[in-house]
């Protein structure tokens, strides 16, 4: 098993981005107040022999003036020299990528490019003020993969004009593009954004935590079947968002756990269909996953017990086959 990479984050909020997406306020999201913030220079020399990745977050990296890009990448070279497996990751817009840019990034040791695609529906992109099209995503994704770099795609659910069906469509198109991983960010109404204004005027209906959890559990199954890992679910919790930056929408400090708990619930529902009412059921899950099966405040157990008229449900952990989340044993009392 290859060692887990340590991430060295460097935030460059709004750097390079000339667009004002309706949902975006990077300073609230990252908590950054200057042009650049992060541990990059301070921690990059402290990783020792551990494999690490320096990740530039928050802005559209390849839209920054080339001289500034090169300065940032040049400053990361000592970090790369610590371990031959260390690498750099950058995040950018789909309309800010071309072959020469990718070759330059590779020359500085960049191994991964994340594209903020958000949706593969042009109407959703337009309503969200993204300034690019679904074709731009397809073109950029192809360039990244053809260059030999690893591709990560970011999508959002609950954007203006979005629906469950459109999010499913976006996920299926992502799968066709063949990324190495995806991030899913359900829309959060962040203070000071145009989306905040639309929400206050009643022109945007928030994407609730519950709606987002149900939808993301469905998206999880699509990406799981395709063998594409979801490397992030929901915004990274921050003091700024928790203290009032997130005024509505799908923000929860443990959003990913809620989604995985819902996945376990859905799997259990499918398995319990043939169980007779009054049965005593044991749900067997992988080691370390008991809490996700039980759910917050035992919500999964209560819903399953009542929904299937069971006498009891017990959850135990065991060694399951790869890909198997839950197994059911039961007896009729």
Q: Which residues of 51-84 are buried (b: 16+ CB within 10 A; e: fewer)?
A: bbbbbbbbbbbbbbeeeebeebbeebeebbebee
Q: Which two tokens stand for residue 71?
A: 């300065």
Residues 228 and 92 in one domain: yes
What's the predicted TM-score (pTM) here? 0.89
* 210-228 pLDDT per residue, tens: 999 999 999 999 999 999 9
Domain holding 304, by residue range, is 274-332
The number of residues in the chain equals 333
Is 304 part of any domain? yes
39 and 108 share a domain?
yes
Question: Quick check: is 106 in a domain?
Answer: yes
Same domain, 291 and 185: no
- Look at residue 95 and tell me if it is in a domain: yes
**Residue 4 confidence class, pLDDT cut points 50, 70, 90:** low
Instruction: Tell me how many domains the chain contains.
Output: 2
- 218 and 74, same domain (yes or no): yes
Asked if residue 260 belongs to a domain, the reply is no
Q: 227-272: per-residue pLDDT in tens?
A: 999 999 999 888 888 888 999 999 999 999 999 999 999 999 999 9
Whether 11 maps to a domain, the answer reads yes
Residue 295 domain-assigned? yes
- Report pLDDT digits (tens) over 20-70: 789 987 554 544 444 454 444 445 545 556 889 999 987 789 999 999 999
Distance of CA 132 to the CA centre of its chain: 20
Burial of 19 (0-12, 13-18, 19+ CB in 10 A): middle
State residue 263's pLDDT score. 96
CATH code for position 152: 3.20.20.70
Q: Looking at the structure, do residues 232 and 296 belong to the same domain, yes or no? A: no
Say if residue 246 is in the same domain as residue 282: no
pLDDT given at position 322: 65
């Amino acid at each position: 098993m290859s060692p887990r990479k340590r991430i060295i984050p460097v935030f460059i909020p709004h750097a390079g981005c000339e667009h004002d997406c309706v949902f975006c306020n990077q300073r609230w999201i990252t908590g950054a107040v200057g042009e650049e913030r992060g541990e990059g220079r301070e921690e990059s020399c402290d990783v020792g022999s551990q494999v690490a990745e320096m990740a530039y977050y928050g802005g559209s990296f390849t839209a920054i003036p080339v001289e500034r890009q090169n300065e940032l990448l040049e400053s990361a070279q000592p970090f790369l020299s610590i371990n031959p497996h260390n690498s750099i990751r950058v995040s950018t817009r789909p309309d800010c990528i071309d072959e020469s840019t990718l070759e330059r990034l590779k020359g500085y040791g960049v191994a991964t490019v994340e594209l903020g695609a958000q949706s593969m529906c042009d109407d959703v992109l337009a309503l969200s003020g993204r300034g690019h099209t679904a074709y731009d995503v397809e073109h950029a994704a192809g360039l990244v993969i053809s260059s030999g770099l690893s591709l990560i795609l970011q999508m959002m659910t609950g954007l203006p004009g979005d629906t469950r069906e459109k999010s499913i469509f976006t996920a299926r198109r992502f799968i066709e593009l063949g990324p190495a991983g995806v991030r899913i960010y359900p829309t959060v109404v962040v203070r000071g954004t145009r989306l905040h204004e639309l929400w206050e005027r009643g022109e945007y209906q928030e994407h609730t935590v519950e709606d987002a959890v149900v939808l993301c559990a469905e998206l999880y199954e699509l990406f799981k079947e395709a063998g594409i890992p979801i490397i992030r679910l929901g915004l990274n919790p921050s003091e700024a968002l928790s203290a009032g930056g997130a005024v509505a929408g799908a923000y929860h400090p443990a959003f990913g756990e809620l989604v995985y708990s819902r996945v376990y619930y859905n799997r259990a529902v499918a398995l319990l269909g043939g169980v007779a009412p009054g049965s005593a059921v044991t749900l067997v899950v992988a080691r370390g996953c008991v809490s996700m099966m039980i759910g917050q405040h035992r919500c999964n157990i209560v819903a399953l017990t009542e929904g299937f008229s069971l006498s009891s449900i017990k959850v135990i952990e065991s060694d399951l086959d790869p890909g198997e989340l839950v197994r059911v044993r039961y007896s009729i009392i």
